[in-house]
């Protein structure tokens, strides 16, 4: 019983130490799929920033973040996508006023985030790399795990860790019951 409680306590402590209470993690793709997004998940409509003349895919964030635009470069270093953190008024002033994240994909595969080509009106703060499998990771306290291209949303990184922890707890409980039965 004592070792089971110790394992359970350590597991809970690690879960809460892993990220500050204010931080969140989003896992999203070009089709409007998102885990960790705010209410309503996404909006598909006119670009509030004016960088693109058509409709854009904007994910609703769970809390306000700093506004601005981050470029995403493919493995060859060419611009592939961009994510803009803004609000309904299209503000990109670097203040903590962004309640949505617009996902611009610079290809034309017919997905919600596709805008057809590189947008010259984007003012990129900096760029991050995209992996060969189309995934990218942007960690600034809040974590943004994106998937560029036509595929399913990747599994959040914590899910396998959580499932493994539940498996260990289950095995410990089963072992304890066997000992009591003998």
For residue range 34-77, list pLDDT tens digits in order.
999 887 789 999 999 999 999 999 999 999 999 999 999 999 99
User: How many structural domains are present in the chain?
Assistant: 1
pLDDT at 69 (0 to 100): 96
| pTM for the predicted model, two decimal places | 0.71
Query: What six digits make up the tokens of 55?
Result: 């409709």
Q: Looking at per-residue confidence, does 159 or 32 come out higher?
A: 32
**What pLDDT shows up at residue 19?**
42
Q: Which of 18-22, 59-63, 147-151, 168-172 has the lowest mean pLDDT?
A: 18-22
SS3 104: strand
Range of the domain at 122: 2-181
Q: In the predicted model, is pLDDT for residue 167 greater than 90?
A: no
C-alpha separations of 35 from 10, 40, 154, 164 in Å: 26, 12, 10, 20
């Amino acid at each position: 019983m004592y070792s089971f409680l110790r394992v359970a306590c350590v597991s809970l402590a690690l879960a809460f130490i892993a990220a500050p209470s204010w931080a969140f993690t989003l896992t999203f793709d070009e089709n409007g799929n998102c885990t960790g997004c705010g209410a309503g998940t996404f909006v598909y409509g006119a670009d509030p920033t004016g960088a693109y003349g058509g409709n854009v895919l904007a994910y609703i964030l769970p809390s306000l973040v700093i506004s601005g635009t981050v470029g995403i470069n493919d493995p060859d270093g060419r611009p592939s996508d961009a994510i803009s953190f803004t609000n309904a008024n299209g503000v990109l002033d670097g203040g903590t006023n962004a309640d949505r994240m617009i996902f611009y994909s610079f290809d034309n595969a017919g997905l919600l985030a596709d805008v057809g080509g590189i947008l010259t009106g984007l003012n990129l703060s900096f760029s991050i790399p995209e992996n060969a499998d189309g995934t990218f990771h942007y960690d600034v306290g809040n974590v943004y795990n994106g998937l560029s291209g036509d595929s399913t949303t990747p599994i959040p990184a914590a899910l396998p860790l959580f499932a493994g922890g539940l498996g260990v707890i289950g095995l410990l409980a089963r072992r304890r019951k066997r000992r009591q039965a003998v």
